[in-house]
């Protein structure tokens, strides 16, 4: 079972190598990279390619590690205990009725091997990765309320993504295989665009890519546009039927591209770009 990219997803050779290395080592694959470089989509595509169900756990600033294991629903139990019928009384007596399984529990006890995505782990507080060390390493945890040990029937393939908002602890890193998705070069980007817009005209694609990389390479940009933003922009260019010539001025100098709002997301960057265009015009 080797991952080799898919018809929806362009995987570079080093990315495929990383996925297969993590599977071989049976360690989580920690994927970092700029926003929009296909980290989340990687997990979806690997799961689809290996025909495994994908369980997703999207992390927020308030997410606690325990929520991935299980939660004890004390409120429901209290409410049921106030009902007087026999059925509720029987339910209340067994605490197992109020243990809500988390994503990790579901992944551990699934019938078939599954893929598990822990998305944007850097959003949680610093204790979060540390709290999951044992679960990720040994693939087991203890449920204190029912005194049972939940152990993985099959080791899931674990994907962990991070946008680098916080450093991850060393003990956690030791347990992962790491891969940084570098920003795609022009050739890889062509293949990615091809996957999304198979019939795109060569001239438009060439002009759009040139403008896109010009914008990205602008020094001092606060937020560089990413793959997904290029795709949005191309979609608009096609929808509005914008000709390739409109993307750069006749003397091949930088011009503010049409529909620039798909690429630049704050006013400082737009101003910076306009200034550059202005300076170029006057330096001629
Ligand atoms: N290698 C690729 N092949 C095909 N499409 C891609 C690729 N990389 C990115 N994309 C496109 O970019 C979009 C964004 O990808 P995704 O949501 O996986 O990014 P991400 O790295 O998880 O971003 P974020 O850090 O913001 O969550 C995808 O929906 C897909 O359309
Ligand atoms: Mg993502």
The reported pLDDT for the residue numbered 251 is 64
Residue of 101, 219, 192, 197 lying closest to 150 (CA atoms): 101
Among 228, 229, 233, say which to mutate for ligand 1: greatest number of ligand atoms within 8 Å of CB: 228
- What is the residue with the minimal CA distance to atom 12 of ligand 1? 228
Mean predicted lDDT score pLDDT of the chain: 92
Calculate mean pLDDT across residues 1-11.
Answer: 87
Question: What is the distance in A from the centroid of ligand 2 to the CA of 111?
Answer: 27
Closest C-alpha residue for ligand 1 atom 24: 35
Which ligand approaches the C-alpha of residue 41 most closely?
A: 1
Tell me the average pLDDT across 81-106. Answer: 94
Name the closest ligand to CA 42: 1
pLDDT tens string 25-66: 999 999 999 999 999 999 999 999 999 999 999 999 999 999
SS (H, E, C) the chain: CCCCCCCCCCCCHHHHHHHHHHHHHCCCEEEEECCCCCHHHHHHHHHHHCCCCEEEEECCCCCCHHHHHEEECHHHHHHHHCCCCHHHHHHHHCHHHHEEECHHHHHHHCCCCCEEEEECHHHCCCHHHHHCHHHHHHCEEEECCCCEEEECCCCCEEEEEECCCCCCCHHHHHCCEEEEECCCCHHHHHHHHHHHCCCCCHHHHHHHHHHHHHHHCCCCCCCCCCHHHHHHHHHHHHHCCCCHHHHCCCCCCCCCCCCHHHCCCCHHHHHHHHHHHHHHHHHC
Nearest residue by C-alpha to atom 9 in ligand 1: 38
Residue 18 burial by Cβ neighbours in a 10 Å radius (0-12, 13-18, 19+): buried
Query: What's the rounded Cα separation, in Å, for the pair 127 and 65?
Result: 8
Rounded to the nearest angstrom, the distance between the alpha carbon of 205 and the centre of ligand 2 is 25
Q: Could you report the per-residue pLDDT of 213-252, keeping only the tens digit for each?
A: 989 998 889 999 999 999 999 999 999 998 888 887 666 6
pLDDT band, very low/low/confident/very high, at 106 (cuts 50, 70, 90): very high
Ligand 1 mean position, distance from CA 99 (Å) = 35
Nearest ligand to the CA atom of 10 = 1
Task: Read off the tokens for 179.
Answer: 């891969």
The tokens for 192 are 């990615």
Q: Name residues contacting ligand 1 (CB within 6 A).
A: 9-10, 33, 35-41, 161, 163, 192, 195, 227-228, 231
pTM of the model: 0.92
Q: Which ligand has an atom closest to residue 11 CA? A: 1
How do 99-101 and 70-72 pair as beta strands?
antiparallel
Nearest CA to ligand 1 atom 11: 228
Tell me, in angstroms, the distance from the centre of ligand 1 to residue 90's CA. Answer: 49
Q: In sequence order, what are the beta bridge partners of 115? A: 54, 157
């Amino acid at each position: 079972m080797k991952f080799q990219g898919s018809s929806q997803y362009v995987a570079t050779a080093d990315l495929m190598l990383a996925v297969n290395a993590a599977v071989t080592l049976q360690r989580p694959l920690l994927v970092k990279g700029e926003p929009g470089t296909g980290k989340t989509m990687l997990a979806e595509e690997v799961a689809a390619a290996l025909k495994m169900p994908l369980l997703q756990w999207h992390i927020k600033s308030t997410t606690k590690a325990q929520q991935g294991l299980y939660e004890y629903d004390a409120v429901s139990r209290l409410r049921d205990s106030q009902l007087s019928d026999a059925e509720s009384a029987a339910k209340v007596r067994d605490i197992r009725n109020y243990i809500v399984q988390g994503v990790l529990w579901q992944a551990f006890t699934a019938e078939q091997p599954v893929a598990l995505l822990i998305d944007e782990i850097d959003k949680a507080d610093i204790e979060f990765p540390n709290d999951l060390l044992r679960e990720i390493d040994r693939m087991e945890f203890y449920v204190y309320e029912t005194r049972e040990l939940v152990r993985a029937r099959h080791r899931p393939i674990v994907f962990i993504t991070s946008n680098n908002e916080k450093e991850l602890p060393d003990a956690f890193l030791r347990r992962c295989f790491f891969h940084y998705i570098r920003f795609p070069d022009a050739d890889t980007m062509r293949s990615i665009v091809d996957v999304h817009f198979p019939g795109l005209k060569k001239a438009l694609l060439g002009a759009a890519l040139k403008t896109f990389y010009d914008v990205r390479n602008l020094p001092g940009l606060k937020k560089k546009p990413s793959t997904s933003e290029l795709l949005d922009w191309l979609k608009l260019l096609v929808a509005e039927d914008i000709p390739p010539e409109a993307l750069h001025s006749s003397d091949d100098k930088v011009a503010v591209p049409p529909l620039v709002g798909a690429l630049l997301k704050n006013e400082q960057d737009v101003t910076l770009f306009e200034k550059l265009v202005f300076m170029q015009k006057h330096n001629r």
